[in-house]
Chains A and B, each alone.
Chain A
């Protein structure tokens, strides 16, 4: 059975610090105030998110920390109760048919959550047993996964002593153990070395080719670009852009982004930049604190070329008697797209 993912107007408002299900930090009890009842602080994590992910698709949720990616994954994996709205895996309502949904999904959490009392192999075997796989098949699958994830030589050691990368690999192997139709990966390559990341990407693509749906959350645009067939960009719990990585990149005016910093603010210079051939948009950065502090001014130039424009910009600046202090060129990327939509960098 092929299963897609759908959400309709999902909202989630936390009234206490998000618990472990949504990838928050260490848990702490709710602060109790005696006497006067203070209104609980409300954190809006999701603000009407609607998504439709096709069966057999690798779909990326891209956004900065706190955008609502993990909460979305939490709702879709039965671990977070939506405040409003609905979510489906295949035809199953996630909140109402939790047990049936849990059979269809495999989940890799943002932070490793391996069973520290067990060895790597036992983790896979017990996970298989929870899903009712018979012992012969369980052993076979565990061996195959340990091989695929290059964990064979550590298979019978306790996971307590594993490195972060090994734990991450084992978490993904465990999620694949019961051969789920839909795989959720929350920041799968965070903290992995480049080599392991490539191995992981290869395995994800391979799993997808067997018809499985994969939902990936990431703030690494390179990863979204490399793996995802479609990407939704999320910010403040809302979907702000949706499409294939290529479509999204094409939607950024010009594609190239040149971030410039000048010695002083000069509106006429910015106007003249606009007239250069290939420049589609010039934005003065007014919110940046650097402007006042360092007595300088910065601007973002969207254009259809990068390097070749620099000499023309430098000429314009010197003729306007403005010093060009800093230049940064980014090629067309999801990062630029995010910046274009939100005015903020993904890493901020």
Chain B
């Protein structure tokens, strides 16, 4: 493995991200923070939502930010670089096995997703305070869940970015990401779906369910949530599945 090349590629991505820091920040945080403000602050202080909703909402918002950031950070550049600008060709010719280029993208996307997730916590806490009741009982399981969520979003971005053509980007958002978010137990716990037993089973194929439930279980365990151990196992499986699919699709796109 040629680490010099790998780090040079990471350096390139970091350089570009630094150059685009303002749009990247707006794109990552504007939507979740507006959501936090309206639902956590406006709706709660006007009495339409109970005060406890603030704490319930935060892990969901964190999951959305991470998944959106990871998917976006990996998928969008890949779609453009493979199809529109073809600028990935130069990096495919770097002296390194080409799958490592995909691994580099996943690594970078994971870092961005982690950053997004970790920034949302203090930002939301500031916006929502007082009354956010975080109980970080097991920092280790929180770290494990966060890492797996970040990895799943970046791997998902790789799989999507290498499977979707430029003309279908809009479709990717309306058909994949939006339903994922609404049926991803982000704004409500999974147990809230008990009145819709069939839907409650179906949403279990949505990886975002495990992301939000896992973060809920480790950040605000006082609310009902799926068992954290099960969440860790399922997220690991999703990570492996998306990574394998993504790498296969990537090779298919890179070599004709």
Contact = CB atoms under 8 A, between A and B. Distances in A.
Chain B binds chain A: yes
Given A22-B256, A130-B5, A116 B85 contact: yes
Contacts of A272: none
Contact of B11 (A81, A111, A129): A129
A113 B87 contact: yes
Given A80-B256, A81-B255, A130-B8, A103 B95 contact: yes
Contacts of B82: 20, 27
Contacts of B88: 113
Contacts of A21: 89, 254-256
A111 B166 CA distance: 18
B201 interface: no
Contacts of A111: 86
Interface residues of A, number: 39
Nearest to A134: B4
B46 interface: no
Nearest to B251: A81
Nearest to A160: B85
Contacts of B83: 20, 26-27
Interface string B78-112: 00001111111111111111100000000000000
Nearest to A103: B95
B129 interface: no
A255 interface: no
A267 B20 CA distance: 73
A102 B95 contact: yes
A115 B87 contact: yes
B89 A126 contact: no
B91 A130 contact: yes
A105 interface: yes
B33 interface: no
Nearest to B1: A99
Contacts of A29: 165, 168
A98 B82 CA distance: 20
A174 interface: yes
A14 to B, nearest CB: 7
The binding surface of chain B is classed by DSSP as helix
Contacts of A117: 16, 19-20, 87
Contacts of A126: 8, 11-12, 15
Interface in A89-135: 98-100, 102-103, 105, 107, 109, 111, 113-118, 122, 126-127, 129-132
A74 interface: yes
B9 interface: yes
B2 interface: yes
**Which of A81, A103, A116 has most chain B Cβ within 10 Å?**
A116
Interface in A26-68: 26-29
A131 B94 contact: yes
A127 B84 CA distance: 20
Contacts of A22: 256
A20 B89 contact: yes
Interface in B201-244: none
Contact of B94 (A113, A115, A130): A130
Contacts of A77: 93
A20 B255 contact: no
Contacts of B84: 26
Contacts of B4: 129, 132
Interface in B151-170: 165-168
Interface of B: 2, 4-5, 8-9, 11-12, 15-16, 19-20, 82-98, 165-168, 253-256
24 contacts: A18-B256, A20-B83, A20-B89, A21-B89, A27-B83, A28-B165, A29-B168, A74-B256, A79-B93, A79-B256, A81-B256, A99-B96, A102-B94, A102-B95, A109-B86, A113-B89, A114-B85, A115-B12, A115-B85, A115-B87, A116-B87, A126-B11, A130-B8, A132-B95
